[in-house]
Amino acid sequence: MKKYLIMAAGAAALITGVALFADDDERYERRVYEHSKTYMQTNPQKRALNEFETTYQKECGSCHMAYQPEFLPKRSWSKMMDTLDNHFEVDATLSPNDHKTILAYLTSNAGDSKYTTKHFSRMSNSVPRDEAPLRISETPYFMKEHKGIPKRFIEQKEVKSLANCSACHTTAEKGIYSERAINIPNYGRWDD
């Protein structure tokens, strides 16, 4: 009996969740806003994931690191989300609901959104206004920062490509890319 009650409670919670999610757009926008407002102000290590981030982590983070939205401008994320059927030659299409959630999350936290920090948006700010790169590694600031790294470090099997941030930036998933946290496989610490 207890088991049934737990299941019933679970089902009820699910229904409530769906009902909340299906609420009108205005409420939806406000929740994105509330999320964004606190996003960079909270200690990233302690910050609890909200539904937008959870969806982003689950859907995008299952194939590659869930890159921080601050790294690209809004126009890049819009273009990215418009071309998921051929996402770097992989099918990354989403359900309409997840698509909406992730697009809202990415654009409202993008490098040119009002919630980003100066420090975090350097990559995005280095992109010429008339360009909308899809690769973070093609932004001028990124290229400058990674210029001196020998190809063999990047192409080795533990790293594979520049897209694999956390291979060397040990705290990348927490949004911390400090030099102290760099550890290149088969090499070690990196000092500029």
Partner 1 sequence: MKKILTVLGLSAAFSLAAPIEGYMQTLADEAKKADAGFSGFDAKRGEKIFISEHIGKKGKSISCASCHSNDLNKAGENVFTAKVIEPLSPKANKERLTDIKNVEKWLRRNFNDVYKREGTALEKGDVLTYIQNY
Please pick, from the candidates 16, 38, 42, 86, the single residue that binds partner 1 as defined by CB under 8 A: 86
90 near partner 1 (CB under 8 A):
yes
Task: Work out whether the CA dihedral 103, 118, 140, 157 comes out positive or negative.
Answer: negative
CA distances from 180 to 32, 167, 171 (A): 33, 14, 10
Residue 2 CB, nearest approach to partner 1 (Å): 12
Min separation Cβ 116 and partner 1, Å: 25
As a whole number of angstroms, the distance between CA 190 and CA 150 comes to 12
Query: What tokens does 79 get?
Result: 């273009």
- Residue in 43, 45, 62, 178 binding partner 1, rule: CB under 8 A: 62
Residues recorded for the chain = 192
- Find the binding residues for partner 1 in span 117-156 (CB under 8 A): none
Among 24, 25, 82, 89, binds partner 1 (CB under 8 A): 89
Task: Round to whole Å and give the CA distance between 69 and 134.
Answer: 12
Task: Find the shortest distance in angstroms from Cβ 91 to partner 1.
Answer: 4
Question: Distance between CA atoms of 103 and 1, rounded to whole angstroms?
Answer: 42
Q: Closest approach of Cβ 182 to partner 1, in Å?
A: 17
| Residue 16 within binding range of partner 1, rule CB under 8 A | no
Amino acid identity for residue 141 in this structure = Y
Chosen residue from 167, 172, 182, 184 binding partner 1 by CB under 8 A? 167
